[in-house]
Amino acid sequence: MRPIALGSNLLHRFYRGGSSIAAFRGIACDDEYAPEDWVGSTTTAFGSDEAGLSSLPDGRLLREAIEAGPEAFVGPDHAALPGPEPGILVKLLDAGERLPVHLHPDRTFAARAFGSAVGKTEAWLIVGARGEPVVHVGFREEVDRETLKGWVERQDAEALLAAMNPIPVAAGDTVYVPAGVPHAIGEGIFMVEVQEPSDLSILLEWNGFAINGDVEYHLGLGLERALGAVDRSAWAGDRLARLREGRGRVRPGVEALLPQEADAFFRAERIRPDPEAELEPAFSILVGVAGAGELETAGGERMPLYRGDTLLVPYAAGPCRVTGEVEALRCLPPEVVT
């Protein structure tokens, strides 16, 4: 199998954005509420049977193609997993406005509440930033349940944000966000987001956004039950700092961008051409973020890889090399421990 060039897969959402995706992709977009492009997705938006699924150039859904040949796409380890699921969801995300304070359930909560095998741990790989962008991640001090409940009921966004850690970000930065941790992405941030393959979000803030706060913010759980998904503990000092720590160069041309604990959920690498570099066979999503080059397989296939390109690399494509003057982000499924 050869790598597959993927087109855009924009989703209409409740918050503004999309112009940075359009510029990055070189496409037109007249929807100011299209802030997410789901890349190589076998995941659907919450409450939908189809929205979010990626199509291949031959018209098939990626989900259908994986069902027909799971080992060729995801390899022998992941082919044993239930369902047509490579184990990750990759997005281009453009925050045209500050996103509301929200969080995502962990696997234990998601299994109990939704019968889901995955929660929504995620990581942000910052590609571009306008102005002086800031993300808010985790509470600075532990917040008791009743205090948090009061803030949510009153929709006191000022109190929520004041209790959280503001983190300035710039292009090239990464932030790992464990499930349960409240967070808000600031206006002007354009990123590649890699996450567990689900669309489970619990909003602590919704006033001023295009969402029905009476029924939609808690995924049908009700406030009391939804609050059980929130990590109300303190994130500060070394605990907070490790969310921004990568592991540096791990082999020629490859930089591991996330802390080791992320490997149980997904992996992310920065790839730069190197004469000695070789990418091992794996299902992966490559996003060109700077320059121009090619992806070359051991079988001699060559695919252009420019800024704005997204390539799906099946396991059966074999080992690959990146050549030219290009920088890419490589997103991979969780590490399988056998």
Flag whether 2 is in a domain: no
Cα separation of 207 and 153, whole Å?
A: 11
Q: Could you tell me if 198 and 289 lie in one domain?
A: no
How much is the pLDDT for 80? 62
Q: Could you tell me if 225 and 272 lie in one domain?
A: no
Q: Which domain holds residue 227?
A: 7-244
Domain endpoint, select from 221, 244, 267: 244
* φ, ψ (nearest 5 deg) of residue 326: -130, 150
Give me the long-range contacts of 246-255 (CB less than 8 A, separation at least 24).
Answer: 246/174, 251/277, 252/276, 252/277, 253/277, 253/322, 254/279, 254/330
Flag whether 324 is in a domain: yes
Question: Whose CA is closest to 229, among 140, 88, 114?
Answer: 114
Flag whether 114 is in a domain: yes
**CATH number of the domain to which 212 belongs:** 2.60.120.10
Cα separation of 66 and 83, whole Å?
A: 9
Structure pTM? 0.96
Domain endpoint, select from 224, 244, 264: 244
Q: Could you tell me if 173 and 70 lie in one domain?
A: yes
Cα separation of 251 and 15, whole Å?
A: 39
- Tens digit of each residue's pLDDT, the chain (338 residues): 899 999 999 999 999 999 999 999 999 999 999 999 999 999 999 999 999 999 999 999 999 999 999 999 999 876 666 566 899 999 999 999 999 999 999 999 999 999 999 999 999 999 999 999 999 999 999 999 999 999 999 999 999 999 999 999 999 999 999 999 999 999 999 999 999 999 999 999 999 998 887 778 899 999 999 999 999 999 999 999 999 999 999 999 999 999 999 999 999 999 999 988 899 999 999 999 999 999 999 989 999 999 999 999 999 999 999 999 999 999 999 987 65
Task: Count up the domains in the chain and report the number.
Answer: 2
Tell me the one-letter amino acid at 137: V
Q: Could you tell me if 239 and 257 lie in one domain?
A: no
Q: Could you tell me if 178 and 99 lie in one domain?
A: yes
CB of 210 closer than 8 Å to CB of 14: yes
How much is the pLDDT for 82? 58
Q: Could you tell me if 208 and 306 lie in one domain?
A: no
Cα separation of 207 and 135, whole Å?
A: 19
Q: Could you tell me if 197 and 266 lie in one domain?
A: no
Q: Could you tell me if 227 and 295 lie in one domain?
A: no
Instruction: Give the chain's length.
Output: 338
Residue 242 in 3-state DSSP? helix
How much is the pLDDT for 316? 95
Q: Could you tell me if 186 and 313 lie in one domain?
A: no
Flag whether 172 is in a domain: yes
